Chain A
Amino acid sequence: MDFYFGLAQLIGVHTLLGLSAYIVLLTGQVSLAQAGFFAVGAYVAGMLTVLAGWHIVPALGVSAMSGAAVACAVGFPALRVKGLMLVIATLAFGEGVRLFFFNFDYQIAKGEIQVGPLGGEGFRQIRFFPENGWETWEVMYFIWAIVIAAMALLWWFDRSRYGTVLRAVGEDELAAQSVGINLTAVKVSAMTVGGAIAGVGGGLYAHYTTHIEHLSFNILLATFAIAYPIVGGLRSVFGTLLAVIFVQGFLVEGLRFLGDWRNLLFGALIVLAMNLRPEGILGGRRRA
């Protein structure tokens, strides 16, 4: 059973990652920076519970704010460029974050052992859940409560004028500008909300794996993040959830019996899925 709880936790955390890219993708921006915000959230939350002894809930609040702050700061310069240039710029940012944590040491003594991030060795012993006696299923419920809250938030956005404006910007920036929409404010706000969601996701990730290192936040993770809303489609937040279940549940776990051939099939199935459903699993169009 623990295997399925573990998988559910992973799917939950990746859904948060995918949702953070979803809201940015609504404005038509392909961002590879989400793994960077996720990494910031992971390290911040881990340091707060391990080094400062905080409870996980306020720690996640601070990782959301850190992710949002970094995303907002990155958004202003990055969103001036578009298309492939934005992909490159956000990719560079994500790698920058990874290399920062590769070099980042901040350890203190806790009892007999040293705890805290230690560069390439990573950040071990993020043991808030086991130390406080949380069972795996409790952690799973906790993660999913947050996932559902994030999905509800974005679902509400989608029904509000804000979400509609995001989609308008994604469709035609020139027309959006001409009807009085402030493109910079809208894009940066989407990036900021996405950064907050990725930050929370990272914080949860750090705590259920108990061990993070810079390699966990590489370009593969950034690619997953943007692949989820693309594969799932922009019709609604449920597309992203379905895409995560499809990719992590079916392609990664379900095909494990294929051994090394899995990776080959994995790529082929993503290409196939995108050819069969070019607008994503749920399609790109909203209720007509």
Chain B
Amino acid sequence: MLSRHFGGVRAVDGLDLEVREGQIFGLIGPNGSGKSTTVNVITGLLPPTAGAIVFRGRDIGALPTHLRLREGIARTFQNIRLFGQLSVWQNLWVAQNSAEDRARQGFLPRWLGGQGRVREDIGRLLEFSGLAHKQDELAANLAFGEQRRLELARALAARPKLLLLDEPAAGMNSEEIGQLRERILKLRSGGVTILLVEHVMELVMGVTDRIAVLNFGQKIAEGTPAAIRADPAVRKAYLGGEAA
């Protein structure tokens, strides 16, 4: 039962979520219903007011953000937060902090070595996100869609087991949404569990295995996409005419 209050505002109020390994789990709800707060609490940017966060059988509620990443939890941001004055390549380079990467290289080569030793890994990420031709461009100079792709690639540089996507399709056109959907499905077949926070129903309904609906910080429904679409409480609070 996870809660996060800001003063008197109960942004997340007694939320129970269980995301099963290998699933794509959708988290939807109106603006201000607590979706982003949930993501921030799971990644440790905000401490929970009450409740526990259990990841692969371990309570990680007390771990700082960077250690949760090493456990395998990575995220993207709703408002893109790239390192704008670093190149595309460097954005991915600094994000290689997974336990595996740390174990594979010695301390000094990892920190003081040049770019050569990780070229292959980063090349794969660039390939996956279709940014190979832009690798030396400053992140700030990328087009909006490219920045979104780079953020996803940067999260993947951490070799996540659980990937939290906070509105990855916001501002995308339908072609880009289609590509994003392909990427998300490809990730799942690669064994990554995904928590998808999204308003774009076309994407959520198309890729998720299960969906939870938040309203005022509480879960008002959970189930398969079809069940959610048919749920009268959800239609009233959120979907309205949009999904009808």
Q: Which residues of A contact B70 (CB under 8 A)?
A: 180
B 85-129 binary contact with A (CB < 8 Å = 1; else 0): 111001101111110000000000011111000000000000000
Q: Is the CB of A180 within 8 A of B69?
A: yes
Q: Is the CB of B111 within 8 A of A178?
A: no
Q: Which residues of B contact A178 (CB under 8 A)?
A: 43, 45, 65, 69, 74-75, 77, 81
Q: Is the CB of A161 within 8 A of B94?
A: yes
Q: Is the CB of A175 within 8 A of B98?
A: no
Segment touching A, from B27-35, B50-58, B134-142, B179-187: B134-142
- Residue numbers of B with Cβ under 8 A of A are 43, 45, 64-66, 69-70, 74-75, 77, 81-87, 90-91, 93-98, 110-114, 136-138, 141, 154-155, 157-158
The count of residues in chain A whose C-beta lies closer than 8 Å to any C-beta of chain B is: 26
Q: How far is the CA of A286 from the CA of B95 in the complex (A)?
A: 19
Greatest chain B CB density within 10 A among A160, A161, A180 is at A180
A175 to chain B: closest residue by CB: B81
The listed residue (B87, B94, B111, B141) touching A179 by CB distance below 8 A is B94
Greatest chain B CB density within 10 A among A168, A178, A284, A286 is at A178
Query: In angstroms, how far is the closest chain A Cβ from the Cβ of B135?
Result: 11
Q: Is the CB of B94 within 8 A of A160?
A: no
Q: Which residues of B contact A168 (CB under 8 A)?
A: 83, 86, 90-91, 94
Given contacts A177-B45, A179-B74, A181-B66, contact A172 B83 (CB under 8 A): yes
Q: Which residues of B contact A177 (CB under 8 A)?
A: 45, 64-66
Greatest chain B CB density within 10 A among A175, A176, A183, A286 is at A175
Given contacts A288-B136, A288-B138, contact A175 B82 (CB under 8 A): yes
Q: Does A162 contact B (CB under 8 A)?
A: yes
Q: Is the CB of B85 within 8 A of A286?
A: yes
User: Can you name 27 A-B pairs with beta carbons within 8 Å?
Assistant: A159-B114, A160-B114, A161-B96, A161-B110, A162-B111, A164-B90, A165-B94, A165-B111, A167-B86, A168-B94, A172-B82, A174-B45, A174-B81, A175-B77, A175-B82, A177-B66, A178-B65, A179-B74, A179-B94, A179-B95, A179-B154, A179-B155, A182-B66, A284-B85, A285-B85, A285-B138, A286-B85
Q: Is the CB of B69 within 8 A of A161?
A: no
Q: Which residues of A contact B85 (CB under 8 A)?
A: 167, 171, 284-286
Q: How far is the CA of A285 from the CA of B86 in the complex (A)?
A: 8
Q: Which residues of A contact B136 (CB under 8 A)?
A: 288
Query: In angstroms, how far is the closest chain B Cβ from the Cβ of A233?
Result: 12
Q: Is the CB of A180 within 8 A of B83?
A: no
Q: Is the CB of B112 within 8 A of A162?
A: yes
Q: How far is the CA of A199 from the CA of B113 in the complex (A)?
A: 26
Q: Which residues of B contact A171 (CB under 8 A)?
A: 83-86
